[in-house]
Amino acid sequence: MKKKHVEVWGRCLAVIKDNIPYQSFKTWFEPIIPLKIENNILVVQVPSQFFYEWLEDHYINLLRKTIKREMGPSGRLEYSIIMDNSQLGRKKPVTVNYPATKQRNVGNKPVNMPLDLNRGRSREIPNPFIIPGLKKLKIESQLVDSYSFENFVEGDCNRLARSAGWAVAENPGKTAFNPLLVYSQVGLGKTHLVHAIGLQVKANFPEKTVLYLQTEQFINQYIDSVRNNNQNDFVHFYQMIDVLILDDIQFLAGKEKTQDIFFHIFNHLHQNHKQIILTSDKPPVELKGMEPRLLSRFKWGLAADLQVPALETRIAILQRRLYTDGIKMPYDVIEYLAYNITTNIREMEGALISILAQASLNKKTITLDLARQMIDKFVKNTTREISIDYIQKVVCDYFNISLDLINSKTRKREIVQARQLAMFFSKKHTKNSLATIGLQCGNKDHATVLHACRTVNNLIETDRRFRIYVDEIDKKLKM
Q: What is the CATH number of the domain that holds 417?
A: 1.10.1750.10
Cβ atoms within 10 Å of 109's Cβ, excluding its own: 6
Query: Are residues 20 and 37 located together in one domain of the fold?
Result: yes
- For residue 348, what is the domain's CATH number? 1.10.8.60
Query: Are residues 194 and 98 located together in one domain of the fold?
Result: no
Residue 89 included in any domain: yes
Query: Are residues 294 and 317 located together in one domain of the fold?
Result: no
Convert the pLDDT of each residue in 173-182 to its tens digit. 999 899 999 9
Residue 164 included in any domain: yes
Higher pLDDT, 11 or 106: 11
Determine the Cα–Cα distance for residues 423 and 420; give it in Å rounded to an integer: 5
Convert the pLDDT of each residue in 190-216 to its tens digit. 999 999 999 999 999 998 999 999 999
Query: Are residues 165 and 296 located together in one domain of the fold?
Result: yes
- For residue 41, what is the domain's CATH number? 3.30.300.180
Convert the pLDDT of each residue in 403-441 to its tens digit. 888 888 888 888 898 999 999 998 888 877 888 888 888
Determine the Cα–Cα distance for residues 78 and 37; give it in Å rounded to an integer: 10
Convert the pLDDT of each residue in 380-410 to its tens digit. 444 455 778 888 888 988 888 888 888 888 8
Q: Are 42 and 9 in contact (CB under 8 A)?
A: yes
Query: Are residues 9 and 72 located together in one domain of the fold?
Result: yes
Residue 124 included in any domain: no
Determine the Cα–Cα distance for residues 340 and 343; give it in Å rounded to an integer: 9
Higher pLDDT, 311 or 279: 279
Q: Give me the sign of the Cα torsion angle 336, 340, 343, 345.
A: negative
Identify the domain boundary among 277, 305, 333: 305
| Region 163-177 average pLDDT | 93
Query: Are residues 182 and 298 located together in one domain of the fold?
Result: yes
Determine the Cα–Cα distance for residues 262 and 252; give it in Å rounded to an integer: 9
Predicted confidence at residue 86, as pLDDT, reads 39
Predicted confidence at residue 407, as pLDDT, reads 80
| Domain housing 426 | 399-478
Convert the pLDDT of each residue in 440-457 to its tens digit. 888 888 889 999 999 999
| 97: pLDDT strictly greater than 60 | no
Determine the Cα–Cα distance for residues 135 and 139; give it in Å rounded to an integer: 13
Q: Are 200 and 149 in contact (CB under 8 A)?
A: yes
Please state the length of the chain.
479
Predicted confidence at residue 82, as pLDDT, reads 67
Residue 197 included in any domain: yes
Query: Are residues 300 and 352 located together in one domain of the fold?
Result: no
Count structural domains, the chain: 4
Determine the Cα–Cα distance for residues 343 and 315; give it in Å rounded to an integer: 13
Convert the pLDDT of each residue in 212-224 to its tens digit. 999 998 998 898 8
Query: Are residues 322 and 437 located together in one domain of the fold?
Result: no
Query: Are residues 292 and 329 located together in one domain of the fold?
Result: no
Most confident of 90-94, 137-141, 265-269: 265-269
Predicted confidence at residue 242, as pLDDT, reads 93
Residue 143 included in any domain: no
Residue 137 included in any domain: no
Q: Side by side, which strands form the sheet with 275-280?
A: 210-214, 243-247, 275-280, 180-183, 302-305
Q: Is 440 exposed, middle or buried (0-12, 13-18, 19+ CB in 10 A)?
A: buried
Q: What is the mean pLDDT of the chain?
A: 80
Query: Are residues 166 and 293 located together in one domain of the fold?
Result: yes
Predicted confidence at residue 307, as pLDDT, reads 86
Q: Are 312 and 155 in contact (CB under 8 A)?
A: yes
Query: Are residues 361 and 296 located together in one domain of the fold?
Result: no
Query: Are residues 376 and 408 located together in one domain of the fold?
Result: no
Predicted confidence at residue 325, as pLDDT, reads 76
